Structure 1
Amino acid sequence: MGAPVIDLPDVVEDVTRQFWAYEKAFMANDVEALIDFFWSDSRLTRYGIADRQLGIEQMRAFRRASPAPDFTRRIEDLRISTFGDASAVACCEFLRTDTALRGFQSQTWMRLGNGGWKIVSAHVSMGWLA
């Protein structure tokens, strides 16, 4: 088995489309759409700014209890790398209108059979950039 082809154009395009659909759902607080972007499995991991979810049940509870954002955010430096046709990493920085801190977000996406692309791991943090 050879090494996976990195950054196949159609795969990058597909994951990029998924990334922006997730961002739209996040800003609209479309809870059920947000939940559907994540792997429906107990091994799902998400580390947030001041929270964590281990498994899809914790993710569902967290999303359903989270209020709609009272800020807007601007995505910067989006970097999407794909490995073969079934795995990808999306990393970006973001600026929110409610803080001077810079945000950082990473998502590991996997194409999982008939379920399509799902986020299997995510991390969000905020801080000062030196």
Structure 2
Amino acid sequence: MEVNNPEALAELTAAFQRYEQALVTNDVAVLDELFRMAPETVRYGVAEHLYGHEEIAAFRAARPAVGLARTLTRTVITTYGRDAGTAWTEFTREGQPRNGRQTQAWIRFPEGWRVVAAHVSLAG
């Protein structure tokens, strides 16, 4: 298995950057698109545990669109073969004393790269 095939890595990095831009601008349509539309998709957040795309989409639709700006402090994106990868990042938010961590598992489907599992937590 090839780790970090240059083409796959560039594609996943672009998908991750698209996700990040959608997150900080609260572009719910893009966020919903980039999470796999399936009951097996899971997202654990700081205070919520969401199972399936419907729960994830409902959470995003109800979330206030304020306080989403953040600065990524360290990001590691890795592909395994041409169709699977992970994205790990640490982040800070202005006025937030605790640093955040985000992990995503991505799979390439015919429609493109999609998050199939995600976890967000705050340190300390």
CA gap of 1:58–1:42, structure 2 versus 1, over 3 A, is same
Aligned to 1:28: 25
> What is the rounded CA distance, in whole Å, between the counterparts of 2:77 and 2:26 in structure 1?
24
- What SS class does the counterpart of residue 91 from structure 1 fall into? strand
Hey, what does 1:13 align to over in structure 2?
Answer: 10
Compute the displacement of 1:127 (Å).
1.5
For each residue in 1:21-65, what CA deviation from the matched residue of structure 2 results, as whole angstroms up to 9, or x when unmatched?
Answer: 101101111111111010000000000011111001101111110
CA distance in 2, matches of 1:33, 1:104: 21
Q: Which residue of 2 aligns with 1:126?
A: 122
SS at match of 2:87: strand
For the 8 Å contact 2:23–2:68, the answer to whether it is kept is no
Identity level (%): 35
Taking the aligned partners of 2:47 and 2:24, their CA distance within structure 1 comes to 18
**Higher CA-based Rg:** 1
What secondary structure sits across from 1:18 in the alignment?
Answer: helix
Equivalence map 1:41-56=2 (5 Å)? 41-56=38-53
Report the counterpart of residue 88 of structure 2 in structure 1.
91
Q: Which runs of at least 4 in structure 1 moved beyond 4 Å after TM superposition?
A: none
Q: String of CA shifts for 1:5-34, please: whole Å, max 9, x gaps.
A: 100111111111111110110111111111
TM-score by length of 1: 0.92
**8 Å contact from structure 1 (residues 46, 53) kept in 2:** yes
- Structure 1 unaligned regions, length at least 5: none
> How far 1:123 sits from its partner (Å)?
0.2
Aligned length: 124
The 1-side partners of 2:46 and 2:90 are apart by 14
The alpha carbon displacement at 1:76 in A equals 1.5
Q: 3-state SS of the aligned residue for 1:104?
A: strand
Range moving further from structure 2, 64-73 or 94-103: 64-73
Is this contact kept in 1: 2:26–2:68, CA < 8 A?
no
